[in-house]
């Protein structure tokens, strides 16, 4: 870069709320190191994908790289500091984070999209601005270059900044993502502990899959390993798992307790192809939930904003719906658009989708493969409003469950901290359960008159009696 054209990095605002650091940071505090400012919001799947890259770089350059997350929230729920702290712990973020709900630093750095990265050299000049995900190699090369230049110029100062983490309390469940009801049992994705639990309806644990460490390892019971598992569906004696953090699908044989990988390589994929003959050689992209219909697993592929399928008989994988464009567009399945689909449920040939980034509930007719929107208007249309059809508003829903007995859908209206009911015939939606005890619920399952809720940020499973309209936490125990 021409020295005459160098741009000084704007100072970090004194009005930011700080996490993971004993005191607020300034440019003076980080001078002499390479700095990456990560402009993110915790709902965003692309922002989530950047975090492993940042962790890799932090571990490779521990004494000369400082990462600071600048949280610039999209949704009203994300403007609350305690919710940001929960997200920091859920994603296991160990670098400093500054919460900027007023977008002060966003404007100072001229940011236009989530995620964006500002790279700052040891003399506090902006060396590069990058947007989007998938920049690990480019960042690695740039950091190495800046380290070498700083060493030659004598401007590099090696030191590790102190951290001040605020961990979650020790609980049996940690950020549970989804729950599934089958054969008088429950399967729970204990996402923060990187494992899958089987319990009875009283909460007694009968099986544990995964040893609590994040990895992609097949094996029996606790010998296997997962990474942030989410969606679950049982088919016969097999429990299928959307192993989100591993970008993989896993199958648990409930008779032998063996876990095997059935799709995915463990690496994030970005292939534009629509059909794949070998699922085990295909890289997936954040599968968040799964459902079963007519011999196929249907997959909410949050990363590319699509619905995929895995044919269990033919062992083939492909795109079922969604063009890959992040938007809310109805019509034929291949031209329709979704935005970070995160919850699925099937009933009577219809697939219901919690389309989180558009705060929408979508429906796919599995026979004629057409997509319609039941609730939701767009990427920046959200709120908390009961009503009919598109007059209603949700805020980043992550879960949906069908209820054939009542001919309705139950919705985990995640960022409104509510459970809502959608009447399928009238398309009317209203709040069913809202209390200080429901906090960013992520998954739902209906079994008769009981609605089970993965109450994510409270590290709980809730049991709601739909006939009595009562709710209570379930103690998960050995």
What one-character-per-residue DSSP string does 238-256 give?
EEEEEEGGGTEEEEEETTT
The per-residue pLDDT for 93 is 98
Beta bridge partners of 199: 186, 205
Assign residue 457 a region: left if phi > 0, alpha if psi is -120 to 50, beta otherwise? Answer: alpha
Res 138: pLDDT: 98
| Tokens matching residue 429 | 């939606």
Q: What is the pLDDT, as a whole number, of residue 163?
A: 95
| Assigned fold of 179-474 | Neuraminidase (2.120.10)
pLDDT at 348: 94
Helix, strand or coil, per DSSP, at residue 221: helix
The span from the CA of 306 to the CA of 300, in Å, is 7
The total of other beta-carbon atoms located within 10 Å of residue 354's CB is: 33
Give φ, ψ of 257 to 5 degrees.
65, 20
Domain boundaries, the chain: 3-153, 179-474
Q: Which of 194, 211, 178, 10 is nearest to 106 (CA)?
A: 10
Contacts of 218 (CB under 8 A, 6+ apart): 224, 250, 258, 259, 260, 261
pLDDT score for 275: 86
pLDDT for the residue 333: 97
d(CA 314, CA 467): 42
Q: What distance in Å separates the CA atoms of residue 407 and residue 427, rounded to the nearest whole number?
A: 11
What pLDDT is stored for residue 13 in this prediction? 85
Query: Residue 6: its pLDDT value, please?
Result: 86
Both tokens of 35, joined, read 């700095």
Of 108, 441, 146, nearest to 451 (Cα)? 441
Cis omega (within 30 of 0) on the bond before 368? no
Determine the Cα–Cα distance for residues 113 and 153; give it in Å rounded to an integer: 34
Q: What is the CA radius of gyration of the chain?
A: 23
The CA distance from 80 to 25, in Å, is 20
pLDDT given at position 274: 87
Condensed to tens digits (0 to 9), the pLDDT of residues 37-68 reads 999 999 999 999 999 999 999 999 999 999 99
Backbone angles phi, psi at 116, to 5 degrees: -135, 145
Which residue from 325, 322, 379 is spatially nearest to 351, judged by alpha carbons? 322
pLDDT confidence of residue 475: 97
Sign of CA dihedral 303, 309, 314, 315: positive
H and E: helices and strands count for the chain? 5, 34
Task: Collect the ranges in the chain with pLDDT lower than 50.
Answer: 1-3
Reported in sequence order, the residue ranges of 136-237 that DSSP labels E, i.e. its strands, are 179-182, 185-190, 195-199, 205-209, 219-220, 229-235
CATH number attached to the domain at 3-153: 3.40.30.10
């Amino acid at each position: 870069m021409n020295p005459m054209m160098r741009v000084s990095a704007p100072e970090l605002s004194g009005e930011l709320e700080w996490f993971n650091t004993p005191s607020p940071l300034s440019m003076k505090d980080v001078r002499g190191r390479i700095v990456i400012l990560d402009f993110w919001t915790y709902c965003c799947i692309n922002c989530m994908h950047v975090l492993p890259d940042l962790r890799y770089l932090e571990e490779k350059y521990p004494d000369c790289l400082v990462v600071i997350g600048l949280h610039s929230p999209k949704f009203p729920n994300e403007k609350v500091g305690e919710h940001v702290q929960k997200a920091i712990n859920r994603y296991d973020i160990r670098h400093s984070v500054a919460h900027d709900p007023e977008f002060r630093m966003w404007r100072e750095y001229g940011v236009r999209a989530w995620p964006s990265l500002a790279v700052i050299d040891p003399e506090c000049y902006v060396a590069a601005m990058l947007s989007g995900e998938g920049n690990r190699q480019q960042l690695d090369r740039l950091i190495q270059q800046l380290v070498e230049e700083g060493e030659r110029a004598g401007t590099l100062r090696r030191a590790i900044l102190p951290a001040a983490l605020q961990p979650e309390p020790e609980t049996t469940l940690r950020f549970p993502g989804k729950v599934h009801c089958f054969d008088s049992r429950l399967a729970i994705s204990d996402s923060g502990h990187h494992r899958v639990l089987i319990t009875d309806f009283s909460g007694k644990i009968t099986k544990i899959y995964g040893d609590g460490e994040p990895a992609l390892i097949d094996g029996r019971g606790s010998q296997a390993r997962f990474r942030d598992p989410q969606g679950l569906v049982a088919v016969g004696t097999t429990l299928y798992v959307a192993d989100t953090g591993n970008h993989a699908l896993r199958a648990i044989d409930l008779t032998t307790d063996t876990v095997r990988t059935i799709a995915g390589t463990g690496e994030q994929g970005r292939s534009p192809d629509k059909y794949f003959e070998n699922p085990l050689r295909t890289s997936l992209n954040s599968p968040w939930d799964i459902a079963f219909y007519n011999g196929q697993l249907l997959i909410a592929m949050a990363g590319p904003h699509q619905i995929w399928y895995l044919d269990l008989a033919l062992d083939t994988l492909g795109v079922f719906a969604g063009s890959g464009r992040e938007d809310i567009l109805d019509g034929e399945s291949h031209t329709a658009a979704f935005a970070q689909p995160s919850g699925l449920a099937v009933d009577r040939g219809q697939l219901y989708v919690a389309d989180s980034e558009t705060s929408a509930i979508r429906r796919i007719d599995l026979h004629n493969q057409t997509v319609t929107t039941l609730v939701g208007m767009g990427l920046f249309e959200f709120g908390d409003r009961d009503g009919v059809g598109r007059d209603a508003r949700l805020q980043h829903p992550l879960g949906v469950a069908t209820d054939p007995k009542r001919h309705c859908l139950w919705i985990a209206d995640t960022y409104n901290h509510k459970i809502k009911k959608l009447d399928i015939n009238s398309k009317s939606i209203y709040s069913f359960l809202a209390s200080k005890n429901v906090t960013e619920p992520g998954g739902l399952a209906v079994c008769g008159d009981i609605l089970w809720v993965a109450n994510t940020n409270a590290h709980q499973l809730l049991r709601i009696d739909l006939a009595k309209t009562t709710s209570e936490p379930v103690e998960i125990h050995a």
